[in-house]
Amino acid sequence: MAYGPVVTSDAEIGMAATKLRPPALPTRLVERNRLDQTLDDAVVRHVPLVLASAPAGSGKSTMLAAWAARRPGQVAWLQVEDIDSDPARFWSSLVAAIARHRPRAGDHLAPLVVGSAGDDRVIVPALVNELVDDDQRLVVVIDDYHLINDATVHRGVERLIDLCPPQLTIVVSTRVDPPFRLGRMRVRNRVSEVRAHDLRFAAGEAAVLLGPAGETITAGSFDDLCARTEGWAAGLVLAGLSLQRAAEPDQFVHAFRGDDQLVVSYLGDELLATMEPEERRRMLETSVLDRFNGPLVDAVTASSGGSQWLLEAAARNQLIVRLDSAGEWFRYHHLLRDLLALEALRTFPDELAVLHGRAAGWFSAQGDHGSAVGHRLAAGDIAGAMALMLFVGPDLLGNGQVRTLQRLLDQIGTAASDDAVCALLWGWCEYLRGRYVAAQHWLDRSLSLLPPEIDPIVATPLRINVALGRGDVATALDAARMVTAAGELATRPAELATAVGAAYAWAGLATDAREALGVAVARATIERRFTAHTMALVSLAVNELEAGDVSAAHAAAEAALSTAHSFGLAGYHGVAPALAVRARTAADAAQAGADAADAVDLARRATTDLGRAFVLTTAGDTLLGLGDDAGAVLLGEARSIIDRCVDPGVAGRALARAESRHRLAATPPAPRTALVEQLTDRELGVLRYLPSQLSLREIAAELFVSLNTVKTHCSAIYRKLGVTDRKAAVQAARSMNLL
């Protein structure tokens, strides 16, 4: 088990293929040429957004699926689900949908989504750049967009519409208008709209939709039915189902109410009440499922013949939607599922947990732990859900879906604090939000709970990252040295070697850093860990700059940035230090200035203190060298970060040099490679405490000496190391292999 940013395939994250293609068309499909013409006209006129906004049951999805099936051009389809409000999940899904027609774009963009954790500011420009030079027309349909409730996703989709190249059309199908600036789009002719009144079935269309059921009523009753439903697709379908069973069809029409209140009243009273008990029971039991196939139906209902039942039921009932051409996967129409779920809750509330448990067991057997954990939680089986987090958590972290992970941990609740894996996952969530104190709390909690069968080294990447994030190089270095001493780095996941190499790099131990980062690159190449690979090269660039080899630093920065670009991670904030190193080592002034500015822009999105301070320092140093006084502001900002770090490692030393070079601080003594005078045993004893967070008074208490004694020893240490303060003493001592 490894925790950290990794890239996995669609299959590995459980993305159902049915999300990425339109639902199969109903057997009785109504040709709606007038709507097709509206959609075709928008594409021809290069309108970037087609908005199909209407209430549930209006026929939006069927209309768009039928249009997509008839179009000669390419149509990418994304069926949105509740969990897609996680930005990383949404953009991963959208990229996967587009990749069905643009595989190259998918290869480039998928790791970018992971590396940026779904940052629309990174993904949208990259997506546009991938599509802008493609001459082929592409339509992207996003169905059920109303399920998205994340402001950053809305912002990103609107930005995509704004930047939309002429050969791309985005179709958004939703029950409610999205929070886009639609007024501005209308004024600029950048949106074409299909509303509820456009989707109403005319008399001729209603006749086709009703089929033989419509022939059982008189012409007057037929007109009355169309008027009562106001052409509402779901109302007509439900009326048709009931007409097949009605003893007096015309009398039924006279009593029929065509608004959406029938979902709870008429449909429940008439449709379900007239079903055979076995079929009714099966439909109620399967209402716990978002989508289903025959084997899943059999597993949940503890019966057999599910595949045949689905085929026959879908042929009779247009509210059972076929999701693929093979007739394997199905779902209930949203209105019908809502009714079934309510009726199941009323009929057998005590059995729902059992049904969810059966579903969880089936999904686990298929290797779909993500779906399984949701059903475990719905069943109230917290222990079962926590057991699955060992598989689900790393996948979600690896795909940048931190919000989905947080949602699951929130659902698990207080029990997560007593589980080592869940506590560790909470630690990662807090770390990725930049909340290092909370991350450290969860890390400590996890380590105290780890059972014997789980190797404690699984927590080491988080331990190192949290320490570096807090500006505590000493703690990170201790963890790195323990891993190295175990001699297993080459057999562990790439993320661990990357973290170890970063700890050595920030500690200024160049040789150790090169060795660990070399292992990280080799492991990441084998494991296809794109983010780990990129970050190892970024750390190598920082390492070579601090080691004083300008040529090697420039080459390492170029390699890191080139690799990031090839993986689609050029806009990932983690590459900012490499940009700063390239700026500092560039021969061309214009290129140096541009790289420095880009590095600062990316670094401001990051949460780690050391990385941001290093970028601000290196970029500020570069700009001041180019005569740009804005660099002084950056150095001042870097100083405010470094001063709150316990042990900033080489970042603090780099800042001191830059401040001295540009006369922004007193000139520190020149760094020494050897001691002026050997440290005494007591001075060495004090030196070992200096990288810690202990105050001098606390160090005195640890050593059972007075505060004045510790101060005297510190003064001697600074003099012999040729430094003026505690942090500089720590870094100088590391360089001389004294720590």
Q: What's the 3-state SS for 114-135?
A: HHHCCCHHHHHHHHHHHHHCCC
In angstroms, the Cα distances linking 92 to 56, 84, 116, 231 are 26, 9, 11, 37
- What are the Cα distances from residue 534, in Å, to 130, 350, 551, 596? 21, 51, 20, 19
Between CA 181 and CA 192 the distance in angstroms is 14
Residues 511, 648, single domain; the answer is yes
Residue 466 shares a structural domain with residue 445 = no
Q: Are residues 138 and 23 in the same domain?
A: yes
Report which secondary-structure segment, H or E, holds 74.
strand 74-79
Chain segment 326-359, per-residue pLDDT in tens: 778 888 877 778 778 888 988 899 999 999 999 9
pLDDT at 728: 81
426 and 481 co-located in one domain: no
Number of domains in the chain: 5
- 290-304: average pLDDT: 93
**Do 180 and 244 reside in the same domain of the chain?**
no
Provide the pLDDT for residue 296. 95
Among 17, 28, 20, 101, residue whose Cα is nearest residue 66? 28
H or E element in which residue 76 lies: strand 74-79
Convert the pLDDT of each residue in 134-152 to its tens digit.
888 999 999 999 999 999 9
pLDDT tens, position by position, 636-648: 999 989 888 888 8
The boundaries of the domain holding residue 730 are 681-735
Residues 119 and 255 grouped into a single domain: no
In a domain, 70, yes or no: yes
Regarding whether 182 and 61 lie in a shared domain, the answer is yes
State whether 164 and 84 are in the same domain: yes
Q: Are residues 262 and 391 in the same domain?
A: no
User: Helical H runs in 22-86?
Assistant: 33-44, 60-70
Structure tokens at 424: 């560790």
Tell me phi and psi for residue 70, to 5 degrees.
-90, -15
Pick from 55, 92, 42, 98: nearest CA to 74: 98
CATH number at residue 651: 1.25.40.10
pLDDT tens per residue, range 543-574: 999 998 999 999 999 999 998 887 767 777 88
Over the chain, what is the mean pLDDT? Answer: 85
For residue 320, report the phi and psi dihedrals to the nearest 5 degrees. -100, 110
Q: Is 627 helix (H, G, I), strand (E, B) or coil?
A: coil
- pLDDT of 261: 52
437 CB-contact burial (10 Å; exposed 0-12 / middle 13-18 / buried 19+): exposed
Q: What is the mean pLDDT of residues 483-488?
A: 89
- pLDDT at residue 35 in the model: 87
Q: What's the pLDDT at 18?
A: 79
One-letter identity of residue 687: L
Same domain, 266 and 146: no
The residue from 415, 435, 454 where one domain ends is 454
Element (H, E) at 721: helix 707-721
Alpha-carbon separation of residue 251 from 42, 214, 256 (angstroms): 44, 14, 9
Q: Is residue 305 part of a domain?
A: no
pTM over 0.85: no
In a domain, 292, yes or no: no
- For residue 10, pLDDT beyond 60: no
Share of the chain above pLDDT 90, in %: 42
CB 286 within 8 Å of CB 301: yes
- Choose one of 158, 176, 199: the last residue of a domain: 199
- C-alpha 388/C-alpha 42 separation (Å) is 46
161 and 87 in one domain? yes
- Can you say whether residue 434 is alpha, beta or left, with left for phi > 0 and alpha for psi between -120 and 50 degrees? left
Which pLDDT value is given to residue 578? 95
Residues sharing a CB contact under 8 Å with residue 91, sequence separation 6 or more, in sequence order: 113, 118, 120, 123, 153, 156
Residues 601 and 434: their CA atoms lie apart, in Å, by 18
pLDDT at 16: 64
398 within domain boundaries: yes
| Cβ count near 712 (within 10 Å) | 15
Q: Is 552 among the domain residues?
A: yes
In a domain, 467, yes or no: yes
d(CA 90, CA 79): 10
In the structure, what pLDDT confidence band is assigned to residue 580 with cuts at 50, 70 and 90?
very high
Looking only at the bridges linking them, the beta strands covering 320-322 and 168-174 are unpaired
Cα torsion 473, 478, 479, 485: sign? positive
Token reading at 659: 């401040």
Residue 123: phi, psi to the nearest 5? Answer: -75, -45
**Between 153 and 229, where is the model more confident?**
153
8 A C-beta contact, residue 730 and residue 474: yes
Give tens-digit pLDDT for 676-713.
678 887 888 888 888 877 888 888 777 777 777 877 87
- Residue 202 DSSP class: P
Look at 60-74, 237-251, 376-390, 411-425 and tell me which has the smallest mean pLDDT: 237-251
- The answer to whether residue 675 scores a pLDDT higher than 80 is no
Last residue of a domain, one of 661, 690, 714: 661
Name the strand (E) or helix (H) holding 174: strand 168-174
What is the percent of the chain where pLDDT is above 70? Answer: 91
- For residues 75 and 170, what is the distance between their CA atoms, to the nearest angstrom? 10
Q: What is the pLDDT of residues 228-266, one digit of tens each?
A: 666 677 677 777 777 766 767 777 777 665 554 554 455
* Residue 648, both tokens: 């900033």
Examine residue 284 and state whether it is found in any structural domain, yes or no. no
Q: What is the CATH number of the domain that holds 51?
A: 3.40.50.300
State whether 513 and 641 are in the same domain. yes
> What is the model's pLDDT at position 228?
66
Is there a domain that residue 588 lies in? yes
Neighbours of 605 (CB within 10 A): 16
Task: Give the relative orientation of helices 510-527 and 473-486 as an angle to the nearest 10 degrees.
Answer: 70
688 phi/psi in degrees, rounded to 5 = -65, -20
At 589-621, the pLDDT tens digits run 999 999 999 999 988 876 678 889 999 999 999
Kind plus residue range of the DSSP H or E element containing 141? strand 138-143
- Interaxial angle between packed helices 494-506 and 460-469, expressed in degrees from 0 to 180 and rounded to the nearest 10: 30
